[in-house]
Amino acid sequence: MARQENSPPFVKKLSSVKARIRYLILTYKALPFIAALVVSYTFMEIAVLAIMMDYLINALEVQNQRIAAIVTNLQDALSSLFFVVVSLISQTYTGSFTMITFCAAASIEGLMLLWTSTFPTPSAFRSVYAAIVFLGMGKGGQNLSESFLEYQLEEKIKPKKQGEKDGSTQDRNERSLGHTIFISIWLFVPLVVGYIIIVCLVFIFYDATFEDLFRFAALLMGATHLLFLIGSLGYSRQELPVESDLSKIHRIFITALRKLSLKYPTSPNSYYWKGYKKQHTYNRGEGVRLLPRVPRLFRWLDKAAIVKAEEEEEEDSRHNRESLETQEKRKKICTVQDVRDVKSLVHMIYLGLTIFPYSLLKASGYTFFVAQASALIPVMNKRGHDISILFLIKAVTSDMSKFTCFLISLAFRNKQKSRVASFSWERKAATITRIGFGITCAVICGSIAWQVEMRRLSSKLNTTVALVPQFVLLGMTEGLVDGGLKRLFNDHVAKSLSNFEDSFSELVVGGGKLLIIPIVLIFSGWIKETIDTSHLDRYYLMLAIMNAVLLLAFAYYSVRYAYKEVCPEDEKVPIEERLDHAHQSDSEDSDQKNTPPFP
């Protein structure tokens, strides 16, 4: 006991984390069932989806590289779009458990269709098309299962306080350092297990064919799906929100469009505050606007909270017959707080547009990087599964980049208690720097891919080892940009829209995956039917230049809006002030009634 009391703080913290892990395994045995499903998704992403381009070109003998690239990117884009739909349904109607079950079943069906496509039948290629649709629907279950695992962990270890009505809304922002490390370990373990299975498959069972690979993936997904269903008795029930984030955004936009003809008021009193203090406004032109400031294209969102135009106060009597609460229920007006929340998302939309060349590079990693690897001599293992090894290197590099940023963020957590305001600014600046460094890695990755392709076309390179640097840089880019985008979303966007974080990231990346399809069709001189007749070096150079140019745009918008502008937190008016204000209004009205008219 004395040795434990005299041990360093780090050893005490490590012992506490070990004790929590042991307690969680012994007490809550249902959580490994969710983690097993995450393992199967990790395996499917690296061992199956990553080699789809190679499978189409070599196994199914799709002679046209452009068709194979379009089919592969279509599957990636469908997975991003389907995730937004699935996330919206889970938030509004069903909850995560039902949609994870649906996505896992779709993944099993897609893997089984891929398995049947390996049979020598005329309908093999049609099976691949059907498999792409099912895998696109099923891939969305990966983020849902990871978020569901995190939610279950937080529910199991959060302190049980008497009279606690809602103990899950602020857990992510108020948990301790040990809590953060504990959650991160549990989320990291399924990834490691998935990587170990891939290593065993590549280096031990190196003689596995496409048929064996797809069959094993389908069986693994089916087994883990069954375990996930078995553990459902131990899961904590999720409470559905009253309104989904996407519905809230849609309501604000529609209401503002209906009031687009109104003029901005000259007084904050003409906004619908609904029990909050009338503050955090600024004057622009002849009207009063609501903070935060946004670019010109979205400033009209303030009109959703306008009660009525000042020049129409005497003419318009309809508002007197219909209360503001009734107008809000009928979606004719929105509160200032809701408008502020949606306006805080505008800055992220602009930043997302500035990083769309990164999403093009990420989509190219699953298509043209794979085509390069297929054209080179595999030397990393006996069977030639170099593509899986390259994507494993990319995944490990991405996770190590995220883990490094996580360790750096821990060094600043001690400052939060003493300097909360300055800490938030420093953390946002660090996140913006992280994304900027990630886009810089994207520029370097495109430049290296350009040089490698030029040397490959000139027959100076002939092995897949030459592709390792660009896969490492692609992994660093994903770890820095994807993780940084999510962190910036949490720091900048209002807390009421926190559930929209994953959907926003998928929309940003999915847009680039869809854009690469018209690029393949437009730049037919660069991207031809075979990789040896194509000029992918020019395409990679174009990606490097686009990322470099839009890096400047990202720096401009992040400094002007995302860094400076903060979504203000509205303060509620105390009940005493409301009563005093009501009494004053009543007394003024009675004085006016009792005052005799002038003779």
In a domain, 164, yes or no: no
Q: Which of 288, 174, 304 lies closest to 251 in space, CA to CA?
A: 304
3-state secondary structure of 450: helix
Q: Which of 352, 340, 363, 357 lies closest to 485 in space, CA to CA?
A: 352
Taking a C-beta distance cutoff of 8 angstroms, is the pair 251, 331 a contact? Answer: yes
Question: Can you read off the two tokens belonging to residue 583?
Answer: 């009494």
Q: Which of 302, 261, 260 lies closest to 280 in space, CA to CA?
A: 302
List % helix, strand, coil for the chain (3-state, nearest 5). Answer: 75, 0, 25
Report d(CA 492, CA 429) in Å as an integer: 11
Give residue 570's pLDDT. 59
Backbone dihedral angles phi then psi of residue 335, each to the nearest 5 degrees: -75, 160
Report d(CA 132, CA 137) in Å as an integer: 9
Q: What angle, 0 to 180 degrees and rounded to 10, lies between the N-to-C axes of helices 420-457 and 368-375?
A: 40
Residue count of the chain: 599
pLDDT-based confidence at residue 27 (cuts at 50, 70, 90): low
In a domain, 233, yes or no: yes
Q: 320 and 186, same structural domain?
A: no
pLDDT higher than 50, residue 593 = no
pLDDT higher than 60, residue 173 = no
In a domain, 300, yes or no: yes
Domain edge (last residue) among 334, 355, 381: 334
**CATH (domain of 429):** 1.20.1250.20
Query: What is the percentage of the chain residues whose pLDDT exceeds 90?
Result: 19
pLDDT in tens, 538-560: 999 999 999 999 999 888 887 77
Tell me which of 367-376, 422-431, 579-588 is least confident. Answer: 579-588
Report d(CA 172, CA 180) in Å as an integer: 9
Tell me which of 232-246, 253-267, 345-359, 446-460 is least confident. Answer: 232-246
Q: 365 and 229, same structural domain?
A: no
Give residue 43's pLDDT. 92
Instruction: Write out the DSSP string of 474-492.
Output: HHHHHHHHHHHHHHHHHHH
In a domain, 594, yes or no: no
Q: 328 and 233, same structural domain?
A: no
pLDDT-based confidence at residue 571 (cuts at 50, 70, 90): low
Domain that holds residue 181: 24-157+175-240
Give residue 382's pLDDT. 64
Report d(CA 26, CA 223) in Å as an integer: 22
Domain edge (last residue) among 185, 215, 240: 240
3-state secondary structure of 61: coil
Report d(CA 446, CA 545) in Å as an integer: 8
3-state secondary structure of 455: helix
What are the angstrom distances between the C-alpha of 192 and each of 42, 180, 217, 404?
9, 18, 17, 16
Cα dihedral 525, 528, 533, 534 in deg (nearest 10): 60
In a domain, 17, yes or no: no
Q: 407 and 535, same structural domain?
A: yes
Q: Which of 404, 430, 411, 437 lies closest to 547 in space, CA to CA?
A: 437
Taking a C-beta distance cutoff of 8 angstroms, is the pair 52, 373 a contact? Answer: no
Report d(CA 267, CA 264) in Å as an integer: 9
In a domain, 165, yes or no: no
Report d(CA 11, CA 416) in Å as an integer: 23
Give residue 538's pLDDT. 92
pLDDT in tens, 102-128: 999 999 999 999 998 888 777 777 888
Q: 487 and 473, same structural domain?
A: yes
Q: 260 and 131, same structural domain?
A: no
pLDDT-based confidence at residue 572 (cuts at 50, 70, 90): low
Give residue 7's pLDDT. 57
Q: 82 and 138, same structural domain?
A: yes
Give residue 492's pLDDT. 81
Give residue 222's pLDDT. 94
Residue 562 or residue 332, greater confidence: 332
Average pLDDT for the chain: 79
412-416 long-range contacts, Cβ below 8 Å, gap at least 24?
A: 413/177
Domain count along the chain: 3
The amino acid present at 284, given as its one-letter code, is R
Question: Can you read off the two tokens belonging to residue 2?
Answer: 């004395």
pLDDT-based confidence at residue 169 (cuts at 50, 70, 90): very low
Give residue 384's pLDDT. 67
Give residue 413's pLDDT. 60
Give residue 481's pLDDT. 92
Q: Which of 187, 95, 107 lies closest to 150 in space, CA to CA?
A: 187
Give residue 150's pLDDT. 85
The amino acid present at 439, given as its one-letter code, is I
- Token pair 């290296």 in the structure block, residue: 448
Question: Can you read off the two tokens belonging to residue 578?
Answer: 């409301």
Question: In the chain, how many H helices and how many E strands?
Answer: 23, 2
- Token pair 């046209």 in the structure block, residue: 64
Residue 256 or residue 314, greater confidence: 256
What are the angstrom distances between the C-alpha of 376 and each of 123, 372, 460, 527?
30, 7, 11, 18
pLDDT-based confidence at residue 172 (cuts at 50, 70, 90): very low
In a domain, 293, yes or no: yes
Query: What is the average pLDDT across 134-153?
Result: 88
Domain edge (last residue) among 240, 263, 281: 240
The conformational region for residue 194 under phi > 0 = left, psi -120 to 50 = alpha, else beta, is alpha
pLDDT in tens, 198-253: 888 887 777 778 888 899 999 999 999 998 988 887 787 777 777 888 888 889 99
Give residue 403's pLDDT. 87
Report d(CA 406, CA 360) in Å as an integer: 26
Give residue 103's pLDDT. 93
Q: 520 and 422, same structural domain?
A: yes
pLDDT in tens, 411-432: 666 555 444 444 566 777 788 8
Buried/exposed 100-136: b ≥16 CB within 10 Å, e otherwise? bbbbbbbbbbbbbbbbbbbeeeeebeebbebbbbbbb
Q: 418 and 301, same structural domain?
A: no
Tell me which of 57-66, 477-486, 501-510 is least confident. Answer: 57-66
Q: 121 and 87, same structural domain?
A: yes
Taking a C-beta distance cutoff of 8 angstroms, is the pair 51, 209 a contact? Answer: no
Q: 152 and 54, same structural domain?
A: yes
pLDDT higher than 60, residue 273 = yes
Tell me which of 175-189, 306-320, 537-551 is least confident. Answer: 306-320
Q: 381 and 295, same structural domain?
A: no
Tell me which of 37-41, 319-323, 350-354, 455-459 is least confident. Answer: 319-323
For residue 163, what are the contacts with CB-CB under 8 A and spacing of at least 6? none
In a domain, 258, yes or no: yes
Give residue 561's pLDDT. 65
